Chain A
Amino acid sequence: MATAHLTVDRAEKFRIVCGILDRHGYRPSGLIPILQAIQREYQYLPEEVLTFVATSLDLPPARVFGVATFYAHFALEQKGKHVIRICDGTACHVKQSLPILNAIHGELGTSEKQKTSIDALFTVETVACLGACGLAPVVVVDEQVYGGMTPERAVALVNEIKMQEIAGDAQAAAAAVNGELHVH
């Protein structure tokens, strides 16, 4: 059962990747936009996909992995459901962004090394300037920008998302019980 399920999944995965490669005309020079498109699809770059891309573009895997690890934007590991980015650009830094980062790490049990929380709900990253310096210090949750943050507000924000997730889970569970949701 499980294996069959996996095969279907993988076929689907490579179908999407092939679509992306088709759109970029299998050009090695399009490697970065290709990886970006793949990451948009999966939120990260799975290893097997990278090797598949290398073969398809007729490039050595080292070249593809070299590019994937060079650029900060590419993630080789799966991220949490919500990505929290704390801006540590100069303007945010001088307005005390580090205490905010530490407060969020403390709240979620994450750290510089362990960026994703154990429940896989959050990934905490720092980013060097989002260009919203007028609002410093800035925290971005998914795509939403929050300006003028303080450690307290950041923790409250994180907890609010947690509560929504719990409420959402409860709703989904209730819906499943009512037969509104088809479980595969």
Chain B
Amino acid sequence: MSTNEGSVVMNDSPGAGQTAMRRVILCAGTGCMANGAMKVFERFRKEMDQAGLNVVLELRPEAGDRDVRLSKSGCQGFCQMGPLVSIVPDGILYTKVRAEDVPEIVERTLVSGEAVERLLYKDPATRRICRGLEDNPFYARQDRRVLRECGFLDPEDIREFMLHGGYSAAKKAFLEMSPENICKQISESGLRGRGGGGFPTGRKWEAARIQKAAKKYVICNGDEGDPGAFMNRSVMEGNPHSVIEGLMIAARAIGADQTFVYVRAEYPLAVERMNRAVADAEREGILGKNVFGTGLTLKCNVLEGAGAFVCGEETAMIASIEGRRGMPTPKPPFPAQSGLWGKPTIINNVETLAHVPRIINEGAAAFRSIGTPESPGTKTFALTGHVANTGLVEVPFGTKLRELVLEISGGITDDNGKPMKNGFKAVQIGGPSGGCLTEEHLDLPLAYDSLRKVGAMVGSGGLVVLNQRTCMVSMARFFMEFTQRESCGKCVLCREGTKQLLALLDDVIEGRADAGTLDLLEKLGRAVQVGSLCGLGKTAPNPVLSTLRYFRKEYEEHIFEKRCRTGRCKALLKPEINAERCKGCGLCIKSCPTGAISGEKKKPHHIDPELCIKCGACATACKLQAVEGV
């Protein structure tokens, strides 16, 4: 049902009172751009022109016979299969389109109206060919709301956004609703912060609204720092006006006249599109001195972060906007009471704000009708790692982890991207603050509280799927190295504790750990949780603690057997030559850079463990797979 809703929009005519014009939409998300989407775009322009079609690049009210609109969209989500080309109203989705494919698409689809079968997505599980979104297993199970317009609207065209009902919620909030009513409606919807904490948005707004202050601020948190997450990036790039609209409603709700969008510096395209969106909104009189003719002023500034993960924390972000080192301060006072420059300030995540216009337009009950009672609505997830379909997905809260990780994902893959049967090992959820979950958790409904109970968190929504070839101790080390590097250094337990946790993990990985190491890891991990001021420190030990909880056996193998079952921990490798397989050809002797292998011709060779540097050159050289353990 929900799926059909999504596809109706995709197949929709451009807007009310318009003739449906055939439209070619190129995904211009980062993934597709890197894969050459712009070349495809230019080729379309040329080939359509040559085929006698009238290339329409701008939004136009009337459509002629031979008019075809060519436009770019934000991320359509199916990043693995990019560059993507959608053709509406035909409902066709072409994948992995190269510039060379364009003449055929123009001739067969745009001129003759048929699909080019070889460019359609083929479901690897069933070998079924999928024409568009509704029969594509990647999209069919999703419920795209925040992302709905991302793959359709031209993110650089404010008029198209408005034609699709854009800014109508902001207008309603400014002209028909009191700040109190807005807060009430958001509270009733049960919307919770999508940035990780899951704090009820309405309560946050209400806390700022009741403050008596001449100056208040709203900040949009687009400092998506979790490695392996790109949901906010896609929304800012794909539908920047929806973020501004949410920001405007928040400002109206608390009585702010100045807003900021704080975007991560690593997202240049998001910065560019947000800036353009703000400028366009000002030109249309939506932002600026006289918002919707109310006489109210509302300004919006786009700020670029400077590369500090901790700035995703509210008080650190405030410090950063004030031009200082991004170090958190104790709460209370909460930003809603005393935030930016000591004034009441609310900070909301990009995705949280993008949900707001729909809640204002459709009502709290409609929003609550999906998801779970405690976690209403939908959530976007960045599905990455060892899966066939990496990309951006949106599902209602309460969806089972299994559905995302094993079904929408198209299955688990090995290191070379080939399907791997029974390959699932774990899923890392919530980034460096989250935890690793296993097979036994796959039937867990995805929601704030259910995940917290098992030691993980929704976080911003990064889902990294790991296959059997992944060493969980190394994985914990990877996150610990990240948080250790990103600790701002204010709290001793976070600054020094993460460093010691990292050193202990290195002991495990490099074979120096003993029976006491695991206890020490757990104790220290809990101490860091308790002794840190902000979310970074409080959650930094989560990856270690959750892997200790669910993959303790792997830690024990490293410590007591000095063995890594995946062979990824180099220091624990023990290369040996299988005497039965070895024919004594001498290839390994020649390949060894340290002269660690000896043996007579035609007799089994031997590796000297003292000299061996475990580089694996012998194993590569051996044609009989006689070198084992490397």
Decide if A94 touches B306 in the complex (CB within 8 Å): no
Question: Is A168 at the interface (CB under 8 A from chain B)?
Answer: no
User: What is B's interface to A at a CB cutoff of 8 Å?
Assistant: 30-31, 33-35, 79-80, 82, 224-230, 233, 265-268, 303-309, 320-326, 341, 382, 384-386, 390-392, 415, 428, 431, 462, 464, 466, 470, 475, 478-479, 482, 486, 488
Decide if A145 touches B320 in the complex (CB within 8 Å): no
Decide if A89 touches B31 in the complex (CB within 8 Å): no
Near B by CB (< 8 A), chain A positions 61-120 give 63, 66-67, 70-74, 88-91, 93-96
Residues of B with C-beta under 8 A to A30 = 323
Task: Say yes or no: A128-B30 contact (C-beta < 8 A), given A90-B227, A90-B464, A133-B228.
Answer: no
Decide if A74 touches B478 in the complex (CB within 8 Å): no
- Chain A, residues 129-162, CB within 8 Å of chain B (1/0): the string is 1111111101000011111000000000000000
Decide if A134 touches B390 in the complex (CB within 8 Å): yes
User: Which of A63, A127, A132 makes the CB contact (< 8 A) with B34?
Assistant: A132
Residues of B with C-beta under 8 A to A127 = 266
The listed residue with most B CB atoms (<10 A of its CB), out of A27, A66, A73, A127, is: A73
Task: Say yes or no: A134-B306 contact (C-beta < 8 A), given A67-B325, A70-B326, A94-B466.
Answer: no
Decide if B307 touches A73 in the complex (CB within 8 Å): yes
C-alpha spacing A133/B233, complex, angstroms: 11
Task: Say yes or no: A146-B482 contact (C-beta < 8 A), given A71-B307, A133-B228, A134-B79.
Answer: no
Residues of B with C-beta under 8 A to A128 = 225, 227, 309, 482, 486
Decide if A32 touches B307 in the complex (CB within 8 Å): no
Decide if B384 touches A36 in the complex (CB within 8 Å): no
C-alpha spacing A93/B384, complex, angstroms: 11
Decide if A147 touches B34 in the complex (CB within 8 Å): yes
CB distance from A27 to the nearest CB of B (A): 8
Decide if B431 touches A90 in the complex (CB within 8 Å): yes
Question: What count of chain A residues pass the 8 Å CB interface test?
Answer: 41
Decide if B228 touches A129 in the complex (CB within 8 Å): yes
CB distance from B76 to the nearest CB of A (A): 11
C-alpha spacing A74/B325, complex, angstroms: 12
Residues of A with C-beta under 8 A to B384 = 90-91, 133-134, 136
The listed residue with most A CB atoms (<10 A of its CB), out of B34, B80, B341, is: B34
- A/B interface sample: 8 pairs, CB < 8 A: A36-B304, A74-B307, A91-B228, A128-B227, A129-B226, A129-B228, A143-B268, A147-B34
Residues of B with C-beta under 8 A to A129 = 225-230, 266
User: Which of A70, A130, A132, A144 makes the CB contact (< 8 A) with B308?
Assistant: A70
CB distance from A106 to the nearest CB of B (A): 12
Residues of B with C-beta under 8 A to A74 = 306-307
Task: Say yes or no: A133-B230 contact (C-beta < 8 A), given A73-B265, A145-B30.
Answer: yes
C-alpha spacing A138/B34, complex, angstroms: 10
Question: Is A31 at the interface (CB under 8 A from chain B)?
Answer: yes
